[in-house]
Structures are given as structure tokens and as C-alpha cells.
Amino acid sequence: MFPVPKILIVDDEPRMCDSLRILLSGQDYEVVTATSGHEALAFLSEDAFDIVLMDIVMPDMNGYQLMDHINSRRPDTFVIVITGHATLDSAVRALRKGAYDYLKKPFEYDELLKTVQNAINQKKLMSENAILNGKLAISEDRYRYLVQNSPDMIYTLDKHGNFTFVNSAAERLIGYKTNELIGKHYTSVIYDEDLEKARWFFNEKRTGDRTAAGVKIRLNVYNGNQNTGCEKKYRTVELKSTGMYDKPTAEKNTNYLGTHGVARDISDRLLLESQLQQAQKMEALGTLAGGIAHDFNNLLMGIEGNAALMLLDIDYSHPHYDKLKKIEQCVKNGADLTQQLLGFARSGKYQAKPTNLNDLVYRSSEMFGRTKKEIRIHTKFQPDLWTAEVDQVQIEQVLLNLYINAWQAMPMGGELFLQTENVTLDDLQVKPYGIHSGRYVKVAVTDTGTGMDKATLGKIFDPFFTTKEPGRGTGLGLASAYGIIKNHFGVINVYSEKGLGSTFQFYLPASEAKVIDKTESEKDILRGQETILIIDDEKMIIDVGKEIMENLGYEVLIAGCGKEAVEVYRYYQDKIAMVILDMIMPDMGGKETYDQLKALDADIKVLLASGYSLNGQAKEILAHGCDSFIQKPFNIRELSHKLREILDKK
């Protein structure tokens, strides 16, 4: 509510002051009188008045001088001039100094009251406008803050499609400063392949329910130099836009003014969705790969077993000896292939064993070289290379990823240099990587390809980062290599310059363990006479396994499923010295079969055999007391040693 108006009357005639005071007080105004300019200034210095009624001619200070003081100290005060010496010049002078009105003595009281009331009404209106303007300013500040600090790009276009406003999110999103976009046509920021879509949606003319909402548009990322010939990068936004008109569109004769819209960056969301889809696909492929490897290993077991049985009956002079040995080598190569499939299915679970990295690098490069004959491979291996305890399948995957990266950097062919080296890293060298100082085995992969700039080097190990065009790479290879090396407590780095090729180096901790020599002679086969129960749902495995065991001197009982095995063991428990148990069977799996056998005999000796690797369920069975594990396909020598290792154990 507006307070009671306060009026100051200034006139050197006391009777005039009293007369006006009585008149205005009767209208519910608060009235104060002063008979001189100096007295009026004293009142004005202590209090604020809505209106000052004053004479022009006064002895100590004329009205114009008093008005100057009022304008400087109380600019919101309205001045009404009342004088008996009115001339046109004096009236104009008073109005120029800001007087609200000018009355000539003598005047009608009604005229005075009307003038005062009009001044009060105008002052009230100005006060209300000031409040509204203040609220509007606060609202605009709040709106401006919200708009400028919004993570979404907010924009307006004129009817020609030129930017008239864009918030600061544009710079964060696509690299353009606000002043760089104002006046530019919207097509300057649209990815080329989305121009047709943007014509309808980014430059939206519709309103209401028909407007663009949830439309995906790609915007070019400005790099400061668009004439480099480099591939343009973009960000994907989700668009919500509507047309602007001078009247509600339901009315006739409306004029289109432009478009305003909000573009939300969904690039990271799409990346996460892609990663999730990729992870789900990898999980499904891993499960499929594991199943294929298991079945394939069972087939290889049948081939290996029959070839081994034939070799037991002949010596090297037999005409089929070499062919049978080649069959065994093919089985071994097939088993290596299934090891890679099983490594893929393990999804990052490692089986470390002492390894000579010279052999691993040589084997992987030979395989790669057979498929990429345009790449010339050079090797320089450290003699007496230290041993490293690694998951061979995973490190082989690292090497293949590095080879493929090098090949893609040399589309016209080139040179690939592979080097191994024993190195000792001190505290200063390992500090940036958070690993321990000491002995390491170093592997370097160098290509003569296109090389990389500093910006690319900074992101080269980021998941899903790729410099290749869509469809040429997932951006997972080097990120996977980084993760594998890190999980082996090693470090991987890269050195590169544009046009000068790249060198990837990784360091793995050296080990004192000895590499197990897989070569075994014929006399290494160990024999026995105990009774062994073979449990497997594959008839081929049962048949070849029974014949192998009998050739090794053992008496053999067989069971084609878990339930049958429990019954056979219950009946022949005192006779059976050991069980060879398949892990995957249809009616009763290896874990349940093992538990039931263990319930019959707490001291039972069990060798777990599977086409799967030592992982998951197999580890769980071993943790419950199973004696050992052997992976199919295995050869007779390996099996004979496993049997004696378990049977001879106290």
C-alpha cells in the first residue's frame, strides 16, 4: 500500500503557507510548511517528500535555486511551482528544470487539488513501475544466469535462419564463441549429412504438438582452422525447437519471426549406450566362443587320442609315423586356436605362467605375417631373455592389437620392427607409472606408418577413441592392450611424430621362475595298474580314453553321465583308485557329480578334465578339494604324468 503522501509548502508569505496547509491536510495529505528556501532545504535534508509546492520569488533563495538543490538531492520529488510573477519565460525555465506543473496566483483551489492529485497519481504509477522494473530486472538476471549456465545450447534464429542469440554452451559444445555465431546461418554448424534434416527441425517453423522434440542432429566441432583438410568431428545433440510468430498461430495473418530451440548434447550418452551394447555383444560372443572351444576341444581330443594310440604301436621307421606326428601337430595348432577363443571368453581373467616372450613374439608375428604379406617384419630378440609370468593368450592379444594398429598406419605397406630386451628400471623411471623398480622384460613394436600428433597421443589409450573412419575400428584395441599390461603390473607407452611412424613399448616384470619345457620323449610315459573310472557324456571321449588308459596298464570303468557315475562308484568304491571327471554334462554337471562322489568317499581322488579352460566352475570344484585339472585335448604323456602325480600322492 502506498503511504500517506507528504507535501512540503515553500512560500515567504506565512498566510499562504497556512492556507495551503489547511486545504491539503483536509485531503488526508501530510503537510509541512517552510517560509524560506533555507528552511525548506533543512526539511528536505531530514525527510523525503512526494511533492514540493513552492513560490519562485523568495528573499533568501529563489525557486530556481531551490529546484537545483532538489534535483541533486531528492530527484524523485515532484515540484509544482506557484507564483504571482508568472511570465512565459519563467514558466518555461521552471519546466526545463523539471517542474511537474506551473500555477499562477491567484488560482482556484480545485485546480490546485487536481494538479496535486495528478502528481500523486503519477508518482504512484512511477513507483509501481520502478518495483515492476526491479522485479523484471531480477527476473531477467535470473533468466540470463540460467540460460548462460545451462549445459544445453539455447539459440534463436531470425526468419532467414541466421543466429540472433546463442548461449555460452555453444562454446563448450562445438567450440564457437557467442559473437562468432551471431549473424551466421545455422547451416554453418550442421554436419553435412544432417543438413536436410536440420532444414526441417533445427530451423523449425511449426508450433505446438507438431514441433521438433527428441530429434538427433550432429553439429560440427569448430577447431579454429577448418581448411586443414582433416576429418571434421561432430557432437550429437537432441533437439527441441519451435517457431516464433508475432501473434498466436491460431490467429490469422501471423508473421513468422524465426525459431528458438534447445540442443542437448547426448554424445556421451550415445557413447555409453554403445559401450553397453558392445559389452553385451562381447559377453554373448564370449559365451559363444567358450561353447565352440569346448566342443572343438572334445573333437581334437578324439583325434589326438586315436593318433597317439597308433603311435604307441609303431616307431619312427614306420611309413605313417611322420603323418601321425603331423596330425598331432595339427591338433596342437587347433588347441592353440581354442585357447585364444577361451581367452576371449574369460573376459579379463588371467592364467599366468612362466613365459619366454621371444617365443610369444615370434609365434604371434609369424601368424600375423602370413595374413599381411605387404608388411615386412624384422625381429631383434635379446638372447637369454628373462622369464615373465604372463597370461600367454592375453599378451598375444596385446601383440596382435599392436600389429594391427601398425598395419592400419601403413595402408600401402611398410616395415614392422619387433625387439625384446632385458632392462632394469630405477625408482626415478618407474615413479610416473606407479610400478615397482627392478628387472623388466621390454617389448618394442615400431612401424614406419603415418605417425600421430600430440593431441592424438594424449588419447590413444582411451576406450573407443579412434582416428579411423566409422566401420574401420572400434577404438578398443589399444585400450584393451593398456588394460592387460596394467593388470600384469607392467607399463605401456608410445612415442610418435606425425609422418615418422610410431613405437609402442611395454614392460613386464621379470620372474625367477623357469619356463616349462613342453618337449617330452617317448620314454617319459608313465604307467600303472590301478582301476580308474572315466566319466564323460561324449562316447568318442569315453572310447578313446578307455583305450589309452588300458594301453597305460590301468583297468578302466566308464560312466556316460553323472548319475551313472555315482551308482558305479557306489558299487565299485573299494576297487576304484581314481576318477577322471568331465565338467560339462547334460543331466548332472561336474560340480554336482563331484559333490555326490565326495559324499560317498571323502578321500576320493579326482582329475577334472574339460574342453573349457581353468576358470569359473572348474576353479570352484578345485577349491572344494578336487586334486587337479587337465585341459582337453591332452596327449598321452601329459595324462600319464597327471595320473601318477595324483595316484602317488599320500
Is 592 strand, coil or helix? helix
Is 444 strand, coil or helix? strand
Task: Tell the residue number behind the cell numbers 579411423, with chain if given.
Answer: 468
Inter-CA distances, 206 with 197, 212, 259, 336, Å: 14, 8, 9, 63
> Cα–Cα distance between 625 and 597 in angstroms, integer?
12
- Work out the angle between the directed axes of helices 63-73 and 88-96 (0-180°, nearest 10): 10
**Residue 467, pLDDT above cutoff 60:** no
Which of 334-348, 381-395, 447-461 is modeled with the greatest confidence?
381-395
Is 7 strand, coil or helix? strand
pLDDT of residue 419: 95
* Phi and psi torsions of 269, nearest 5°: -65, -45
The set of cell numbers assigned to 592 is 554336482
pTM: 0.50
**Residue 451, pLDDT above cutoff 90:** no
Give Cβ neighbours of residue 323 (< 8 Å, ≥ 6 apart).
none
pLDDT of residue 378: 94
SS3 for 141-161 is HHHHHHHHCCCCEEEEEECCC
Rounded to 5, what percent of the chain is helix, strand, coil? 45, 20, 35
For 576, the enclosing helix (H) or strand (E) is: strand 576-582
pLDDT band at 503 (very low <50, low <70, confident <90, very high): very high
Q: What percent of the chain has pLDDT over 90?
A: 30
Which of 96-105, 177-186, 213-222, 632-641 is modeled with the greatest confidence?
177-186
Q: Cβ of 304: how many Cβ atoms within 10 Å? A: 25
Q: What is the mean pLDDT of the chain?
A: 84
Higher pLDDT, 311 or 603: 603
User: Among 172, 158, 334, 129, which Cα is nearest to 268's?
Assistant: 172
SS3 for 226-264 is CCCCCCCCEEEEEEEEEEEECCCCCCCCCCEEEEEEEEE
pLDDT of residue 555: 94
Residues across the chain: 650
Per mean pLDDT, which range of 6-15, 359-368, 474-483, 544-553 is the poorest? Answer: 474-483
Q: Cβ of 36: how many Cβ atoms within 10 Å? A: 16
Give Cβ neighbours of residue 181 (< 8 Å, ≥ 6 apart).
155, 163, 166, 170, 189
**Residue 303, pLDDT above cutoff 80:** yes
> Cα–Cα distance between 585 and 565 in angstroms, integer?
12
Give the mean model confidence (pLDDT) for residues 550-556.
92
Higher pLDDT, 92 or 595: 595
Inter-CA distances, 354 with 190, 241, 334, 350, 512, Å: 55, 62, 22, 13, 9
In the chain, what is the straight-line distance between the N-terminal and C-terminal CA atoms, in Å? 103
pLDDT of residue 155: 93
> Cα–Cα distance between 20 and 512 in angstroms, integer?
113
pLDDT of residue 415: 92
pLDDT band at 183 (very low <50, low <70, confident <90, very high): very high
Task: Tell the residue number behind the cell numbers 594391427, with chain if given.
Answer: 404
Higher pLDDT, 487 or 199: 199
Give the mean model confidence (pLDDT) for residues 220-230.
55
pLDDT band at 205 (very low <50, low <70, confident <90, very high): confident
Which stretches within 516-632 are classed as H helix?
Answer: 539-551, 562-572, 590-600, 617-623
pLDDT band at 224 (very low <50, low <70, confident <90, very high): low
pLDDT of residue 520: 45
Higher pLDDT, 619 or 532: 532
Q: What pairs with residue 438 in β-bridges? A: 425
**Residue 36, pLDDT above cutoff 60:** yes
**Residue 464, pLDDT above cutoff 50:** no
> Cα–Cα distance between 591 and 11 in angstroms, integer?
113
Structure-derived torsion over alpha carbons of residues 38, 42, 45, 51, reported in degrees to the nearest 10:
-80
pLDDT of residue 357: 95
> Cα–Cα distance between 155 and 166 in angstroms, integer?
4
User: Among 406, 485, 403, 494, which Cα is nearest to 453's?
Assistant: 494
**Residue 403, pLDDT above cutoff 80:** yes
Structure-derived torsion over alpha carbons of residues 504, 505, 508, 514, reported in degrees to the nearest 10:
100
The set of cell numbers assigned to 344 is 576371449
Query: Taking a C-beta distance cutoff of 8 angstroms, is the pair 265, 235 a contact?
Result: yes
**Residue 465, pLDDT above cutoff 50:** no
Amino acid identity, position 249: T
User: Among 635, 629, 646, which Cα is nearest to 524's?
Assistant: 635
Q: Please report the domains of the chain, with CATH numbers, ordered by start residue.
A: 6-129 (3.40.50.2300), 153-265 (3.30.450.20), 357-511 (3.30.565.10), 522-647 (3.40.50.2300)
> Cα–Cα distance between 648 and 53 in angstroms, integer?
124
> Cα–Cα distance between 534 and 529 in angstroms, integer?
15
Query: Taking a C-beta distance cutoff of 8 angstroms, is the pair 414, 448 a contact?
Result: yes
Higher pLDDT, 446 or 83: 446
Task: Tell the residue number behind the cell numbers 534464429, with chain if given.
Answer: 157
pLDDT of residue 350: 59
Q: What pairs with residue 153 in β-bridges? A: 263
User: Among 337, 346, 341, which Cα is nearest to 289's?
Assistant: 341
Higher pLDDT, 156 or 469: 156
pLDDT of residue 288: 76
Q: Cβ of 142: how many Cβ atoms within 10 Å? A: 10
> Cα–Cα distance between 31 and 28 in angstroms, integer?
9
Q: What is the DSSP letter of 330?
A: H
pLDDT of residue 383: 93
Task: Tell the residue number behind the cell numbers 582452422, with chain if given.
Answer: 225
Higher pLDDT, 331 or 387: 387
Give the mean model confidence (pLDDT) for residues 176-204.
90
Q: What pairs with residue 375 in β-bridges? A: 414
pLDDT of residue 230: 37
Q: Cβ of 618: how many Cβ atoms within 10 Å? A: 21
> Cα–Cα distance between 518 and 638 in angstroms, integer?
9
pLDDT of residue 333: 74
pLDDT band at 633 (very low <50, low <70, confident <90, very high): confident
Q: What is the DSSP letter of 189?
A: G
pLDDT of residue 135: 85
Give the mean model confidence (pLDDT) for residues 261-285.
77
Query: Taking a C-beta distance cutoff of 8 angstroms, is the pair 377, 365 a contact?
Result: yes
